[in-house]
Amino acid sequence: MDVKDIKILLVDDEDDVLDFMKYNLDKEGFQVHTAQNGLDAIQVAKKVFPQLIILDLMMPKLDGIETCRELRAIPEFKNTLVAFLTAREEDYSQIAGFDAGADDYITKPIKPCVFISRIKALLRRLETNQTGGKLRVGDIEIDRDRYLILKDGKEIILPRKEFELLSLLASKPGRVFKREEILSKVWGNDTIVGDRTIDVHIRKLREKIGDEYFKTIKGIGYKFDA
């Protein structure tokens, strides 16, 4: 996809931060749209359908977490890349962000070259993470095109990262995926996440899909048992 065809929505209530991001992305040739709160962000997103949305965590009217949840509830934005921009580094806020459906987490302040590098790394996932088709393992069917899970004929909707983690593990039942490989393939090498991130997502999948499918290999990683 050509840079000039990529639409990015920036959402932050601080004018200087918004201007900084827009200026640097404009220079790269992206189509840049902006909003200063979560409610406006949802309305702008519905008009322009961006490929990537950068959300500040702390905003008036609707914070980043709730904005992300509302966007993910709209079918057109299930596969849209979403990254949080925040000055907070606590583990709980990162976990809350990923649980809400975020793809990445960018901590400010950030240098222009680093910011652009992170944006480009995110956008590469538009190509590397889009593997279509259906996968059937036991009584579970994974529809990668629609980001949909069918278990015993019942539809299960998962947040993006939970879906990608399940899709990865189920792609090779019985194989042990090391934690480093899971982080690389699901979150990307440019994303900084804590060790607990995988564990939290596995716990969520066990609750929604079934505990019996996910086996912990202590000190190594996880495998999917069909």
The CATH number covering residue 84 comes to 3.40.50.2300
Q: Mean of the pLDDT values across residues 44-59?
A: 92
Task: Indicate if 34 and 68 belong to the same structural domain.
Answer: yes
On average, the pLDDT of the chain sits at 85
Task: Indicate if 122 and 152 belong to the same structural domain.
Answer: no
Last residue of a domain, one of 110, 128, 146: 128
Across the chain, the runs of DSSP E, i.e. the strands, are 7-11, 31-35, 52-56, 81-86, 104-107, 134-137, 140-143, 148-151, 154-156, 177-178, 214-217, 221-224
Task: Indicate if 168 and 191 belong to the same structural domain.
Answer: yes
Last residue of a domain, one of 107, 128, 149: 128
Identify the three-state secondary structure at position 223.
Answer: strand
Identify the CA nearest to 24 among candidates 87, 110, 139.
110
Using 50, 70 and 90 to split pLDDT, how confident is the model at 95? low
| pLDDT cut 70: percent of the chain above it | 88
Task: Indicate if 93 and 147 belong to the same structural domain.
Answer: no
Identify the CA nearest to 14 among candidates 54, 48, 66, 58.
58
What is residue 10's predicted lDDT score, i.e. its pLDDT?
Answer: 97
Task: Indicate if 99 and 188 belong to the same structural domain.
Answer: no
How far are the Cα atoms of 35, 74, 119, 199 from residue 44, in angstroms, in the given order?
A: 7, 14, 20, 34
Using 50, 70 and 90 to split pLDDT, how confident is the model at 99? confident
Task: Indicate if 77 and 157 belong to the same structural domain.
Answer: no
The residue range of the domain holding 189 is: 134-224
What is residue 174's predicted lDDT score, i.e. its pLDDT?
Answer: 81
Angle between the N-to-C axes of helices 196-208 and 160-170, in degrees from 0 to 180, rounded to the nearest 10: 80
Question: In total, how many domains does the chain have?
Answer: 2
Task: Indicate if 79 and 36 belong to the same structural domain.
Answer: yes
User: DSSP character for 61?
Assistant: S
Task: Flag the least confident range among 93-107, 109-123, 135-149, 208-222.
Answer: 93-107
Last residue of a domain, one of 87, 111, 128: 128
CATH code of the domain in which 177 resides: 1.10.10.10
